[in-house]
Amino acid sequence: MKIVHVFWSLHFGGIETMLINIANAQAKQNVDVHIVIIDDDNESIMLESFSKNVVVHLLNRAKGSKSINFIFRFNRLLSQIKPEVIHLHDTKFYGMLWSKKLSRVASVTLHALPTGSVRRRGILYRLFPILNLKANGIVVFIDKIPKVFAISDAVKKALWEDYHVKSIVITNGIVVDDFKMRGDNCPGSRIKILQVSRLEHAKKGQDLLIEAAIRLKGEVDVTFIGDGISYDYLDTLIKNNNADEYIHLLGKRTQSYLKDNLCKYDLFIQPSRWEGFGLTVAEAMASKLPVLVSSGQGPSEITQGERYGWIFKNGNAVDLADKIKWIKDNYNEAINKAHIAQNYVMHTFDISETAKKYLDAY
C-alpha cells in the first residue's frame, strides 16, 4: 500500500507529533509512506524525527503566500507518487485535489472538535472551490471527503449532530516505550504539577489552573509547557497575583524533552474547556503520572471518567483546586491508579495499534 499524508508544516504540536508517529509506525508495517509538507516554516528536529523509510516532500510555500503555484506542484507530485491513499490532516486540502482519481482515495482525520461551515455561500465559491481555502473553521469540504476519521467519540458525536457527517473513531497513539516512568515516591511539601499544550486559555483553560494554584498557594508548584497567543495574558495574570515564584511558563519544549521529563512531576492536569482528544494526557499516563482532566471533553474519554484519572467540573477553578488538594492528600491512592492507567495506555494507545487501525480502515 502507498500512503501520502498531507499537512501544512511541522512544529511542536499534537497533530505534528501524531503525524510523525503514525508515519513511522506505518512504515514499520511494510507500507510505502510519503509525507507532503506545504509550508517552509518547519522545525528541523521534527523533520529529523521521521524514519529513514518515510519519504518527506517539502513544497516550501512561503507561509501566508497568496500564490496558488504550490497547488499545481502539489497535484503534480501526487500524480507522480500515485498513492492508493491520501490521508489529509486538514479538510481544506481536499479542495486542492483537482483530479477525481485523487479525490476518490482521500481521507481525513479531524483532530479537534468541529467548527465552521462545510462551504462558503455564494456562486463564486461553488464555481471555484479553491476559494474555500480561506474559510474559517475546520470542516470545509468534510461532507465531500470519502472517509472521515475522528480522534474521539466527542468529535464523532459533534460531527454527526452538527453536520450529519459519519466518521470512524481512531484515537491518537503514542510510542509508549519512549516515556520514562515516574517512581512511587510521594510529593514534597508542594505537589509538582505540569500542564502541556498550546497557550490558548479560552480553549485550553490555563487560566483555570492558575486560579486554582493561587487558591492553593504554598501547596503547589505549577509548570506550563507550550507557547501561543495567550502567553502575555497568562504571564500578566501570574505576576499580578505575585505567583511567579510557584507558577512558571517554561515555553515550548521538544518531544524528546517531554519523554525524559514528564516523570519528574507529581500530577498532570489538562484543564481544557474544549478539547477533542488530549494526546499529552495519554503521554502523562504512559509516564505513570496521575492525571486530572476537565469533564465532558476528549481527555475524560482517555481516562474513562475517573477509572484511570480524576475529573473536575469543566470551567470551575474552585473544583479544580479541591481535586488537586484531594490528590495531594491521598497520593498513595493516586499512585495505585497511575499504575493501572499506565498498563491501560500501553495496551490501548500504543502507536502500533493506531497505525494498524488506520491501515485496516483505509
Domain extents for the chain? 2-174+350-361, 176-348
Taking the model in full, what pTM does it have? Answer: 0.86
Out of 3.30.565.10, 3.40.630.10, 3.40.50.720, 3.40.50.2000, the CATH code matching 176-348 is 3.40.50.2000
Share of the chain above pLDDT 70, in %: 96
Amino acid of residue 194: L
Q: Which of 63-72, 173-182, 336-345 bottoms out in mean pLDDT, i.e. has the lowest?
A: 63-72
CATH architecture of 2-174+350-361: 3-Layer(aba) Sandwich (3.40)
The reply to whether domains 2-174+350-361 and 176-348 share a CATH topology is yes
Contact 84, 105 (CB under 8 A): yes
Cα 346 versus chain centre, distance: 18
Q: What pLDDT shows up at residue 197?
A: 94
Residue 131 pLDDT: 63
pLDDT tens profile 117-145: 887 556 555 555 556 666 678 999 999 99
Rg (CA), the chain: 21
- Among all chains, which residue has been given the C-alpha cell 507500507? 31
Indicate the range of 15-19, 165-169, 332-336 predicted with least confidence: 15-19
Q: Would you state the pLDDT for residue 123?
A: 58
Q: Between β-strands 85-88 and 54-61, what pairing exists: parallel, antiparallel or unpaired? A: unpaired
Cell 468534510, residue located: 142
Average pLDDT over residues 204-222: 97
What's the CA gap between 299 and 295, in Å, rounded?
8
pLDDT at 68: 84
- Overall average pLDDT of the 90-119 stretch: 93
CA distances from 133 to 67, 109, 144 (A): 12, 17, 15
**In this predicted structure, what is the pLDDT of residue 136?**
75
Tell me, what's the pLDDT at 133? 65
Cell triple for residue 301?
Answer: 474519554
Task: Determine the Cα–Cα distance for residues 138 and 146; give it in Å rounded to an integer.
Answer: 16
In this structure, the number of other CB atoms found within 10 A of the CB of residue 235 comes to: 14
d(CA 174, CA 255): 11
DSSP state of 146: S
Distance CA 341, CA 337 (A): 6
